[in-house]
Amino acid sequence: EVQLVETGGGLIQPGGSLRLSCEASGFTVGGTCMNWVRQAPGKGLEWVSVLYSGGSTYYADSVKGRFTISRDNSKNTLYLQMNSLRVEDTAVYFCARDGSPRGYYYYYMDVWGKGTTVTVSS
């Protein structure tokens, strides 16, 4: 079964760091494009970052320079390292797989996890 499970959320003080993990099953994270998307309390979905199969990474302006997306192919796991956290980073963080056929980029997300909650507060 194709599945994504996020872990690593928690309560962290402003300025702190946290690393989220997203373990995949049923497919290999290294062979596809993977995203992080977040949802702040009472707000809509916000795209955060993408990691292409070739290794290129891109970020939303709101997290650029503070967040780093990466993967460990041996663990079939995607990560999001979050540094210099701000109160406004409080959200449920989802990882999601791009559903485009190999070699193509149609920019949609066909498999999502249930999310992990990050709360930034003093």
Partner 1 sequence: QSALTQPASVSGSPGQSITISCTGTSSDVGNYNLVSWYQHHPGKAPKLMIHEVSKRPSGVSNRFSGSKSGNTASLTISGLQAEDEADYYCCSYAGSSTYVFGTGTKVTVL
Tokens standing for residue 112:
């999502």
Beta strands in 1-122 (DSSP E): 3-7, 10-12, 18-25, 34-39, 45-51, 57-59, 67-72, 77-82, 91-98, 109-112, 116-120
Q: Is 35 in the site for partner 1 (CB under 8 A)?
A: yes
CB of 16 to partner 1, least distance (A): 26
CB of 122 to partner 1, least distance (A): 27
83 close to 26: Cβ distance less than 8 angstroms: no
Q: Which residues have C-beta within 8 Å of that of residue 113, sequence separation ≥ 6?
A: 3, 4, 5, 6, 22, 94, 95, 96
CB of 119 to partner 1, least distance (A): 16
Q: Is 115 in the site for partner 1 (CB under 8 A)?
A: yes
Nearer to partner 1, 37 or 80 (CB): 37
Contact string 38-77 vs partner 1 (x = CB under 8 A): ------xxxx--x-x---x-x-xx----------------
Q: Which of residues 54, 74, 103, 106 is near partner 1 by CB under 8 A?
A: 106
